[in-house]
Amino acid sequence: MEITKVGVVGAGQMGNGIAHVFALAGYDVLLNDISQDALERALDTVRRNLERQIAREKISEAEAQAAVGRIRTTLKLEDLGGTDLVIEAATEREDVKNAIFERLLPHLKPETILTSNTSSISITRLASRTDRPEKFMGFHFMNPVPVMKLVELIRGIATDEPTFKTLLGVVESLGKTAASAEDFPAFIVNRILMPMINEAVYTLYEGVGSVKSIDESMKLGANHPMGPLELADFIGLDTCLAIMNVLHDGLADTKYRPCPLLTKYVEAGWLGRKTQRGFYDYRGETPVPTR
């Protein structure tokens, strides 16, 4: 199946990045959100990120203008019915995702491929709630989407081969690399990454090191570009907690138990960069550790 029109549900950090890369690759994009402000912020973010790519001579001014021209926005979910591929990039909550699919299904073409950008939730389970489990896949982009080269492709138990091959071609057309993952909790990247972040939070919780010493140790001692606590703030502590809960519930292994300190930060609303406070306080000129 040829994909030319792409619908993206959710205009947040992931959704606007997905819209960006698809539009730049020549696809017509329809970006949906429940908030007009979110849609306007998303377009502003896309423009800023395209300008960065121009400054780094990754793309031309003409390519950037053409990409912006390919993105349309809508508050009506049913408007995505005419697209060839839908990518759900809403919040990492299964009930929210299921509600979106339920509202969307009556409006979709029979051949439309339905995907979720979920970072941890069972693709088989999500697909089973739709009318097209054979045309349903996990389509997991990494954050920030315009920069990161990897896309995890996750087949549910019913996903057919033509759907997988189509999405493999789409990933290649975006200039990215696909990694095929089996449908187990958190797939590949987050199955490895989130327990490391959770262990860093335990290291802080138990007083083994401070925020600064933990992050500096991993940057200078393991050559990581960003410390695990800084990375957690970038991802969003609520997302980190949600993925750890999926791992803990899905695999029933105590090694995936979320650190109580991570839970406490989320309960306080200190979710990282997006709320200006997490393991660092971002309200000043430079981030300051909060512990």
Is position 14 annotated in a ligand binding site? yes
C-alpha of 237 from chain center: 14
Is position 255 annotated in a ligand binding site? no
Helices (H), 56-160: 61-69, 94-104, 123-128
C-alpha span between 54 and 63 (Å, rounded): 9
C-alpha span between 47 and 45 (Å, rounded): 5
User: Packing angle between helix 36-55 and helix 13-24, nearest 10 degrees?
Assistant: 50
**Residue in 85, 89, 105 with CA at minimum distance from that of residue 97:** 89
Is position 119 annotated in a ligand binding site? yes
Is position 92 annotated in a ligand binding site? yes
Which residues are annotated as catalytic?
119, 140, 152, 190
DSSP 266: H
Task: Examine residue 146 and say whether the peptide bond preceding it is cis (omega within 30 degrees of 0).
Answer: no
Is position 135 annotated in a ligand binding site? no
Is position 267 annotated in a ligand binding site? no
Is position 274 annotated in a ligand binding site? yes
Is position 149 annotated in a ligand binding site? no
C-alpha span between 160 and 149 (Å, rounded): 25
Q: Which residues are annotated as a binding site for NAD(+)?
A: 10-15, 33, 92, 97, 119, 143, 274
Q: Which residues are annotated as a binding site?
A: 10-15, 33, 92, 97, 119, 143, 274
